[in-house]
A and B are shown apart, each in its own frame.
Chain A
Amino acid sequence: MMMTQSPATLSVSPGERATLSCRASQSVSSNLAWYQHKPGQAPRLLIFGASTRATGVPDRFSGSGSGTEFTLTISSLQSEDFAVYYCQQYTFWPPRFGQGTKVEIK
C-alpha cells in the first residue's frame, strides 16, 4: 500500500491557488486525511474523510476525491500556509503517509 504525493515542491505566490495531489496504490475509499506541518511545530489535521474539514480549519482549504485519486486545494494562499502537506490513508493497516508536498513562496 503506497501513497504518492505530487509535486514534491510547489512554488506559489501569496494569494494564488495551490493544488496538491495524492494517489493511493489501491482504493482507500474516502479514508484519506491531510495534515499540515511546519518546521518545529506539531502537525495539524486539516481534512479527514477526504473532504471534511477539521475543527477550526479555514474554508480556503478543501479536499476532494475518492478511491485512488485525491486533491487538496488551498484557494488563496496566505503567508501562514507555507508548509509541508501530507496525505494519509486509513483503510489499510498500517496507516501510511505520503512523502509530503512542500509549498514554498514563489
Chain B
Amino acid sequence: EVQVLESGGGLVQPGGSLRLSCEASGFTFSNYGMTWVRQVPGKGLEWVSVISRSGGDTYYADSVKGRFTISRDNSKNTLYLQMNTLRAEDTAIYYCAKGGSSSYVFDSWGQGTLVTVSS
C-alpha cells in the first residue's frame, strides 16, 4: 500500500525556519516526482514545490521562491521541505504528494502537517 507520512510541523515565529519531512513507503520512491501542496485553514489548495525523481530538477511557487528548498534522499525514501524566513501567510497544512502519470497529477497524499507562523 502506498503511504506518505509528513512530520515536522509546529509553531514558529515570523522569520524563523522549519524543516518538514515526508516518509514514503509502498512504492519505488526514486521512480516518482514528489510535490508539496499547502492549504491555509478554511481555504483551498496551493501547489508549493516539486522535485524530480533524481532530485536534479526543482520548481517553486512564486510565493515561496528563494525561501523554501525542496530536496529528497532516495536512500531513505524521504522528501524534505526546508522553510526559511517564514511569514504569517505561510501558516497552513502542508501535504506531501506523490506524482502519478504526470509529476503534476498527485495520486497519493499524506494527511498533512500543520505549520503555524505566529509570535
B94 interface residue, CB < 8 Å from A? Answer: no
How distant is the Cα of A94 from the Cα of B59 in the complex, in angstroms?
9
Task: Choose one: B62, B100, B104, B110; the contact of A42 (CB below 8 Å).
Answer: B110
Residues of B63-100 contacting chain A, CB below 8 A: 95, 97, 100
A-B CB pair tally, cutoff 8 Å = 59
Interface size class of B (residues with CB under 8 A): 20 to 34
Q: How far is the CB of B81 from the nearest CB of chain A, in Å? A: 16
Interface residues on A, range: 20 to 34
Q: Which of B104-118 contact A (CB under 8 A)?
A: 104-112
Provide a sorted-by-A list of 19 A–B residue pairs whose CB atoms are within 8 angstroms: A33-B105, A35-B106, A37-B45, A42-B108, A42-B110, A43-B106, A45-B100, A48-B100, A49-B101, A54-B100, A88-B45, A94-B59, A94-B61, A95-B47, A97-B44, A97-B45, A98-B44, A99-B44, A100-B44
